[in-house]
Structure 1
Amino acid sequence: MQIKRLDHSALVVADLDRTRWFYSHVLGLEEIARPSTFSFGGCWFRGQGFELHCILERDTTAPAGFGQPGLGANTGLAHHLGFEVDDVGALEARLRAHGAAIVAGPMQRGDGIVQLYVNDPDGNFIEFFMHAPGSTLPQFERAPVRERGAP
């Protein structure tokens, strides 16, 4: 058995209209049909080589998303989606024009990557990144893979 590729990610959301507006209008993803046999609400989106499945959460007593503003040093270590973009600066301007709250960035990561973090309307943490102009990614020495069952 071999895993071929990651097909989609799923997020829990509280408001489908707000979700559709953010992911289609602000970020430019294409909304696509979802299986008609599902008994729960949701909306599906397609990007270049991936899908995002937003599932309606009916319990409104708690926030749907899990990203929290003000993570400081932990930015990027939380559960999040990461999207590569062509121009982080242009995206930042677009997000601000649409009232999106920037959580962190744009900032240099230190390896030729520029990052920007936002929360979607349900608080899901999203990273956008690009390769800084003229940068080349350094070759990192990777830690050895541990044997199964090894500490």
Structure 2
Amino acid sequence: MKENTGNPLHLKSLNHISLLCRSVEESMSFYQNVLGFFPIRRPGSFDFDGAWLFGHGIGIHLLQSPEPEKLLKKTEINPKDNHISFQCESMEAVEKKLKEMEMEHVRAVVEEGGIQVDQLFFHDPDGFMIEICNCDSFPVVPLAGEMARSCSRLNLHQPPAPSTSDPHPLVNRFSLLSSSPL
């Protein structure tokens, strides 16, 4: 593949992720009640079962597997496995809530340059890994200047002020804490 720089496809943001499910209803309940997503209208022209949810700036498209018994089973929680990550305001509040819900989870800590990031990992009903973190503690330092400029959600000059009107306060928007080059 020919190497490109910048944003050759003129991408704006992540729109959604699609996940195959054993049970759309069970997965909907998880994404609504655990992660705070809400159901949205899905095109009626689809000829397969599924549901769309939205929250925290992205969509989750749940697709009913025609062969649910063939989907991979949940495995041990491995932070190095495929996952999607959400920012939160309070790791303590998240961990307390996970314990109240009796959700198995794994805690991890990443430390570099005097900065500590806490992470919690757990599975959705189909074994897809979810991470909740305070990863915005790490500065985002682009390896190439154009990469950062191509993202409209990054402010290269100063971090955005925290939102007080966020209807889902458990998850923050991604913020840039440093723009100094390596």
Question: Structure 1 residue 82 and structure 2 residue 89: aligned?
Answer: no
Change (3 A) 1:63 1:95: farther
> How far apart, in 1, do the equivalents of 2:49 and 2:85 lie?
24
2:13 is aligned to 5
Partner of 2:109: 108
Given that 2:77 and 2:129 are in contact with CA atoms closer than 8 Å, whether structure 1 keeps it comes out as no
- 1:62 equivalent to 2:70? Answer yes
Summarize deviations over 1:36-85 as a string: whole Å, max 9, x none: 111111111111211111111121222356x63143xxx2x321111111
Instruction: Tell me the secondary structure at the aligned position of residue 109 of structure 1.
Output: strand
Distance verdict in 2 for CA 1:138–1:11, change over 3 Å: same
C-alpha displacement at 1:141, in angstroms? 8.0
Match of 1:51 among 59, 63, 76: 59
- Identity percentage of aligned residues: 26
Distance in 2 (CA, whole Å) between partners of 1:86 and 1:139 is 18
Q: Which runs of 4+ in 1 moved over 3 A?
A: 138-143
Contact 2:77 2:121 in 1 (8 A): no
TM-score by length of structure 2 reads 0.64
RMSD: 2.5
Distance 1:64 1:46, change over 3 A: farther
2:176 aligned residue: none
In structure 2, the gaps of 5 or more residues are: 1-8, 145-182
Using the size of structure 1 for normalisation, the TM-score is 0.76
Equivalent runs, 1:11-50 vs 2, <5 Å:
11-50=19-58
**Of 109, 129, 134, the match for 1:130:** 134
Number of positions where the alignment pairs a residue of Structure 1 with one of Structure 2? 134
Give 5+ residue unaligned stretches, structure 1: 144-151
